[in-house]
């Protein structure tokens, strides 16, 4: 049974904003003024300022039949933080803009904001503003993230060089398998009253899809080990696509090895259940929010000693193109659509 629901019109736009943002404390020295005036005021002295923005539309980017609003809020914020970490920067502020359709209540928005606020709390980011308006087609969320980094620490996509090692954090394909699982259970639940989804033994997949984390820890580990990546990005569209981005921006080729791609056992079990090629899922499944980066060859020992980072291949001269070496030693070109085992 749904709890008591309050119509947004009972608070009005300003009342809603006040309600959702009450008690927000500012933590970053760069935040001079947060919510409450015509602009937020930020002060950055010596450092470079980085900005990233994301737009999420109900029915296109998320499905509220299986995504809880709190998780949606958390994920919307975290994927923006991930973009900042992918530049080796620190996220400091976000603005949150909402388009809200009639079927949403104050309680729904509270749930969304509890997720956004939790993410800000955990990652040390200040919520400094936004905009609130009416939507005619579901929920629209746009988050802009602002952060900083010393000029000489920023890592672009374009810095990879021949012989650099290609590294990834965590494991790949689980978020995509989580999505397949949630979609399957959604279809199975249609029209049933007390449906219990079959998530047992697959909790990791569901969590990776619904509550991803940004790899702040990896950025910190790299800094501690005094490793400056030559190129980096976060894996939101799948490894194939991101590798091609780095190689294109850096004007290089690459070789990666199928047997080195990190994959969790739950991902493997799910792929088998769905009769899907596991490596395809890991290469092309999106939303892992792991980091893909390159380091100079001489960092090999240091990189190997950091848990949760795997060397999956190396950068080559551009003339060699981008390819994956399979378990039996065959070279398969990596394509924009990702790796296709049937080719």
Residue 129 lies near ligand ADP (rule: CB under 6 A): yes
98 pairs with which residues across the strands?
132, 141
Stretch that binds ligand ADP, among 33-41, 52-60, 233-241, 305-313 (CB under 6 A): 33-41
Smallest gap, in angstroms, from Cβ of residue 58 to Mg ion?
20
Binding at 59: pick from Mg ion, ligand ADP, none (beta carbon under 5-8 Å per type): none
Cβ atoms of 178 and 281 closer than 8 Å: no
Cβ atoms of 165 and 260 closer than 8 Å: no
Residue 125 lies near ligand ADP (rule: CB under 6 A): no
DSSP run (H or E) holding 268: helix 265-273
| Torsion angles phi and psi, residue 324, rounded to 5 | -110, 135
- Sketch the per residue contact string, 164 through 203, with ligand ADP: x for CB under 6 A, - otherwise: ----------------------------------------
Rounded CA-CA distance 134/229 in Å is 43
Binding at 53: pick from Mg ion, ligand ADP, none (beta carbon under 5-8 Å per type): none
Residue 73 lies near ligand ADP (rule: CB under 6 A): no
- Residue 82 half-sphere exposure toward CB, CA atoms < 13 A: 23
Residues in 113-132 that interact with Mg ion by CB under 5 A: 131
Cβ atoms of 29 and 93 closer than 8 Å: no
Residue 253 lies near ligand ADP (rule: CB under 6 A): no
Q: What is the DSSP letter of 138?
A: S
Binding at 93: pick from ligand ADP, Mg ion, none (beta carbon under 5-8 Å per type): none
Dihedral over Cα of 223, 229, 231, 232: its sign? negative
Smallest gap, in angstroms, from Cβ of residue 49 to ligand ADP?
18
Neighbours of 103 (CB within 10 A): 9
Smallest gap, in angstroms, from Cβ of residue 79 to Mg ion?
23
Smallest gap, in angstroms, from Cβ of residue 93 to ligand ADP?
11
Residue 38 lies near ligand ADP (rule: CB under 6 A): yes
Residue 114 lies near ligand ADP (rule: CB under 6 A): no
Question: Alpha carbon of 334 to those of 67, 173, 247, 311, 312: distances in Å?
Answer: 32, 17, 11, 18, 14
Smallest gap, in angstroms, from Cβ of residue 42 to Mg ion?
18
Q: Which of 73, 115, 130, 147 binds ligand ADP (CB under 6 A)?
A: 130
Q: Which of 7, 121, 131, 273 binds ligand ADP (CB under 6 A)?
A: 131
Burial class (CB in 10 A: 0-12, 13-18, 19+), 91: buried
Rounded CA-CA distance 257/260 in Å is 5
Binding at 130: pick from Mg ion, ligand ADP, none (beta carbon under 5-8 Å per type): ligand ADP
Q: Which of 8, 87, 89, 96 binds ligand ADP (CB under 6 A)?
A: 96
Contacts of 250 (CB under 8 A, 6+ apart): 157, 158, 159, 160, 161, 231, 294, 315
Residue 324 lies near ligand ADP (rule: CB under 6 A): no
Smallest gap, in angstroms, from Cβ of residue 76 to ligand ADP?
12
Residue 251 lies near Mg ion (rule: CB under 5 A): no
Residue 7 lies near Mg ion (rule: CB under 5 A): no
Rounded CA-CA distance 30/174 in Å is 36
Smallest gap, in angstroms, from Cβ of residue 102 to ligand ADP?
17
What are the structure tokens assigned to 14, written together?
A: 């300003």
Binding at 46: pick from Mg ion, ligand ADP, none (beta carbon under 5-8 Å per type): none
- Contact set with ligand ADP (CB under 6 A): 17, 21, 35-38, 96, 98, 129-132
- Contact set with Mg ion (CB under 5 A): 131
């Amino acid at each position: 049974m749904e709890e008591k629901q309050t119509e947004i019109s009972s608070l009005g736009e300003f009342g809603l904003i006040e309600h959702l943002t009450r008690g927000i404390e500012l933590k970053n020295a760069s935040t001079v003024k947060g919510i409450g005036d015509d602009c937020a005021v930020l002060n950055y002295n010596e450092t470079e300022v980085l900005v990233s923005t994301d737009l999420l539309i109900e029915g296109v980017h998320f499905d509220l039949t299986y995504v809880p609003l709190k998780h949606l809020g958390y994920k919307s914020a975290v994927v923006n933080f991930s973009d900042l970490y992918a530049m080796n920067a620190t996220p400091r502020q976000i603005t949150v803009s909402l388009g809200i359709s009639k079927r949403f209540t104050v309680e729904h928005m509270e749930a969304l904001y509890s997720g956004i606020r939790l993410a800000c709390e955990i990652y040390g980011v200040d919520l400094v503003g936004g905009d609130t308006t009416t939507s005619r087609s579901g929920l629209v969320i746009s988050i802009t993230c602002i952060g900083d980094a010393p000029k000489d620490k920023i890592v672009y996509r374009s810095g990879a060089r021949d012989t650099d090692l290609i590294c990834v954090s965590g494991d790949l394909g689980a978020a995509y398998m989580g999505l397949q699982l949630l979609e399957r259970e959604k279809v199975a639940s249609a029209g049933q009253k007390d449906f219990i989804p079959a998530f047992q033994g697959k909790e990791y997949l569901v969590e990776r899809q619904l509550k991803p984390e940004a790899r702040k820890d990896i950025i910190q580990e790299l800094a501690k080990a005094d490793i400056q990546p030559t190129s980096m990005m976060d894996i939101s569209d799948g490894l194939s696509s991101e590798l091609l981005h780095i190689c294109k921006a850096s004007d290089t080729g690459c070789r990666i090895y199928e047997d080195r791609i990190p994959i969790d056992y739950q991902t493997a079990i799910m792929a088998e259940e769905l009769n899907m090629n596991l490596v395809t899922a890991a290469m092309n499944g999106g939303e892992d929010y792991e980091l893909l980066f390159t380091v100079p060859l001489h960092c090999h020992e240091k990189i190997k000693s950091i848990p949760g980072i795997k060397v999956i291949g190396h950068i080559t001269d551009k003339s060699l193109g981008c390819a994956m070496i399979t378990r039996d030693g065959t070279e398969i070109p990596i394509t924009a659509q990702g790796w296709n085992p049937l080719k």
